[in-house]
Amino acid sequence: MHVPEALIDIAGGIALTFFISFVFKKILPRLANKTRSNFDDFILREITDLIFPLGSIAVLFLAETKLQLPGGLNKPYELILTIAAAVVFIRLINRLGIRLLQGLARRSGREDIEQLVRTLFPLLKALTWIVVSLIVLQSQGVKLTVIWGLLSAGGIGLGLALKEPAQELFAYLMILVDKPFTIGQFIAVDSVAATVEKIGIRSTHLRSLRGEIVVINNSKLTSSNIENFATMQQRRMIYSIGVTYNTTADQIQSIPTTIQTIIENTNHTIFNRCHFTTFGDYSLNFEIVYYIDNRDYTLAMDIQQSINLSIMRKFEEQGIEFAFPSQTLYLEGNGVTTGKESS
């Protein structure tokens, strides 16, 4: 058969394929709408989308003998059609696989699993392309041993180039699986205390108390000690104050009771202890420990400020002075002696 006649047959076959595809797109959705599940709608839609491209490829395959191509063009012609068919199937497999994994992740009811599945989509797509490509190459007579040799040779350099991105990806997956923190939680990493705003594949973005964005690599996060304040039911407040050595023993004895009363009369607080602990170089030191029944940092600072001001006012009423470093000069004859004391 002459080439023009073969082209007419090809055009007719493609037109018929288009017509069948059009009919199926009109009929199958009506059948799918009769069921409660959306998955069958998705399957039927994917099938109808395949009819035209696969039908056209089949028509071109069948027309090969009629086209009477020169001997040197038969293999390239078949290779192009094979690649086209492989691309169609790869896209179908990827869409079906992604939809299936999305459904399973959604049924789990866990947001971290859904996020993990979304992260793995590019990797799964790439794996599908690689596997199908190897199958196509093998079907064309290419020896896989040669391919594996080339991949091994190039894999060393590629592995070195992708070492850091791969490390960050695995660290990201560890964060999603172990969940040391989630978006919106307040954490402390090394010297950084901030709220988690974004968890990316390569890095995590934190919003510090001063308002700036702090970007930390995921690999550094997974290898650091992380303090997560989100699950904290109570915030423990512990600090010391010092009073002068001029303070009397009776006043020293009354200070723990005074501070306990102040803390117990403050909302959202639970008093733990207050003790006279040490004789310092400049001061008589007390350690104060109490809890705030809220993990909000700003509220905790407001409560601590209120308690500190109440302590200052009470000490003023009782004539108790806070200590600070000072020096006193003692004059002995013609010499001068320097001594330290609290003032």
Residue ranges of domains in the chain = 3-147, 172-228, 235-325
For the domain 172-228, what is the CATH code?
Answer: 2.30.30.60
- What is the CA 117 to chain-centroid distance, rounded? 13
User: What tens digit of pLDDT does each residue of 154-174 get?
Assistant: 555 545 455 566 677 778 778
From the list 275, 254, 271, the residue with the least C-alpha distance to 317 is 254
Kindly report the average pLDDT of the chain as a whole number. Answer: 77
User: What tens digit of pLDDT does each residue of 281-305 get?
Assistant: 889 999 999 999 887 778 889 999 9
Residue 27 CA to residue 266 CA, distance in Å, equals 72
Whether the CA torsion 65, 69, 70, 72 is positive or negative: it is negative
Count the neighbouring beta carbons within 10 Å of the beta carbon of residue 181: 23
Give residue 1's pLDDT band: very low, low, confident or very high (50, 70, 90): very low
pTM of the shown model: 0.47
**pLDDT reported for residue 237:** 92
- The highest-level CATH class for domain 235-325 is alpha beta
